[in-house]
Amino acid sequence: MKRETYERVIEDIFVADKAILAEVLTVNPSDLSLVARQKSLRSGKLDLLLLYQSVLILVELKVTPFSVEMIDQINNYELDLLQLQAEKKLIAAPIKKLLLVTSFSSEAIL
C-alpha cells in the first residue's frame, strides 16, 4: 500500500467518526466541524481544514516520521489560507496548525 493510501485511510476514519478526530485533537466533538478535505491550495492539497469553536485548524497528516520540510509545507498552507481570508473566500478566524506524524525525534530539527 502506498503512503498516500494510508493517509487517505486515516482521513476517511477522521471524517467518518468525528469523535476519534476530536480525541486526537483533545477537543469537544460537538464543537468540531469539517470545513474542507483535500483542499486545493496554491502550494498543494491540504489534508483537513476544521473549525473548532471560532478557530480554523489546519491538519496535515503524514504516515512518515517528522522531517523539517513538513514545517515549510504546513507554513505554506497557512499562507495560502491567510490569502483566501484576505480575499474574503474563507471565514476570518485564527488559524492553528497541526502536523500529525508517525514519530518525532529532536535530531530531525538539528
Residues 41, 81: Cα–Cα separation, whole Å: 8
Q: Kindly list the structural domains of the chain, giving each domain's residue range(s) and its CATH number in brackets, ordered by start.
A: 3-103 (3.40.1350)
40 and 79 Cβ atoms separated by less than 8 Å: no
Consecutive H or E run containing 93: none
For the entire predicted model, the pTM comes to 0.88
Grid cell, residue 26, equals 483533545
pLDDT tens for 46-76 read 999 999 999 999 999 998 889 989 999 999 9
Helices and strands (DSSP H and E) totals, the chain: 3, 4
